[in-house]
Structure 1
Amino acid sequence: MYTPTGNWRKASWSVAEGACVEVAPAQGGVLVRNSKDRTGPIVRFTDAEWKAFLNGVKHGEFDSLA
């Protein structure tokens, strides 16, 4: 299991009962988990994968998936 190197964070606009994810920095990447199930599975992204994902979000790559 990967250990976060910092605190878990979620979006500031996230509502208390909303379906949100939390992210935390980890050595060489970023960890993501479900904010409603903090003891559940954690997904790890490398730095390159996370950067590619954020770049895709910024450029509307996932807009048609909604």
Structure 2
Amino acid sequence: MDLTRAIWRKSTRSGTQGDCVEVADNLPGVVGVRDSKDPTGPVLTFTPRAWQAFVAHTKRP
């Protein structure tokens, strides 16, 4: 999977101590998630639908 055009942004829920998750959702058909402390490390990829379901689930009380 080619993520070279990914535009990464830090999660609004990331901590101020460097415990950050970055998300790239600008690519068609894929959402990338990575650890900001290791930007050249592994990337989890999701379909946009699966990512939306994950985010919705994490917002549930």
TM-score with structure 1 setting the length: 0.71
Tell which structure's C-alpha radius of gyration is larger.
1
**Which whole-Å CA distance do the structure 1 matches of 2:7 and 2:35 have between them?**
15
Matches within 5 A, 1:28-47: 28-47=29-48
Structure 2: 5+ residue runs without aligned partners? Answer: none
Over aligned residues, Cα RMSD in angstroms? 2.0
Change (3 A) 1:35 1:14: same
Q: Tell me how many residue pairs correspond in the alignment.
A: 59
- Identity level (%): 44
Larger fraction in helix:
1
The corresponding residue for 1:10 is: 10
Which runs of 4 or more aligned residues in structure 1 lie more than 2 Å from their structure 2 counterparts after TM superposition? Answer: 11-14
One-letter identity of the residue aligned with 2:30: G
**Which whole-Å CA distance do the structure 1 matches of 2:53 and 2:34 have between them?**
19
TM-score with structure 2 setting the length: 0.76
